[in-house]
Amino acid sequence: MNTMETNKASEAPRKRVYEVFEPYCKWRTEDGGPEILEIDLKGFKKEQLKVQANEKGMLIVSGERPLDAKKWIRFRKETTLPKDCNFRDVRAKLSKGYLSIIIPRKLPQRPPPSPEAQKNNNKKGTNWGVKIDKGRFLKVAVVVTAVVLVVAVARLAEVYRHPHHAAKEHHVHV
């Protein structure tokens, strides 16, 4: 056996030995603001962590890092996201050994209109809940129509007076 083969055998990759641990987690909620999950992950770098939020309402946080030449530690934490959050807006930040996962709430939905409000919206003279003054509406409509007619007639008169100016051409440069 030559020395080259011996060196290769001693450099064969070693299998990692994993120790699984459960990191300390704490939920914080700010009034009307986002929910924040804080996880104590001292010694981890952001490249060693993975945060996933999915459309099924699950938040999955995992990571692994070496302890020494042979031993690694790893964790996996799964939790359900709050119902009033959008999983696409979940953000994470690692600072001073703490991973903060910010879970913003969805914007509050406008409640459906009451039956009385719907009845009022369906009355004549209203549009999407806005009351319309019919007299003023008609005056504006007549003025707009008159302006459009005047402009159209003026343009037609110009075309008949100067037909060669009316034709618009597009020149393509080669």
Report if residue 172 sits inside a domain.
Answer: no
Any idea what the CATH number is for the domain that residue 91 is in?
2.60.40.790
- Lowest mean pLDDT of 18-32, 38-52, 89-103, 149-163, name the range: 149-163
Report angle CA 110, 112, 118 to the nearest 5 degrees. Answer: 130
Domain that holds residue 147: 115-166
Domains in the chain, number: 2
Task: Kindly report, residue by residue over 24-80, the tens digit of the pLDDT.
Answer: 999 998 777 889 999 999 999 999 999 999 888 899 999 999 999 889 999 999 999
pLDDT in tens, 118-138: 665 555 555 555 666 777 778
Write down the pTM of the prediction: 0.54
Q: Is there a single domain that holds both residue 28 and residue 91?
A: yes
Tell me whether residue 11 is in a domain: no
Q: Would you say residue 4 lies in a domain? A: no
Instruction: Please give the Cα distance from 21 to 65 (Å, whole number).
Output: 12
Does 75 share its domain with 132? no
Together in a domain, 81 and 22? yes
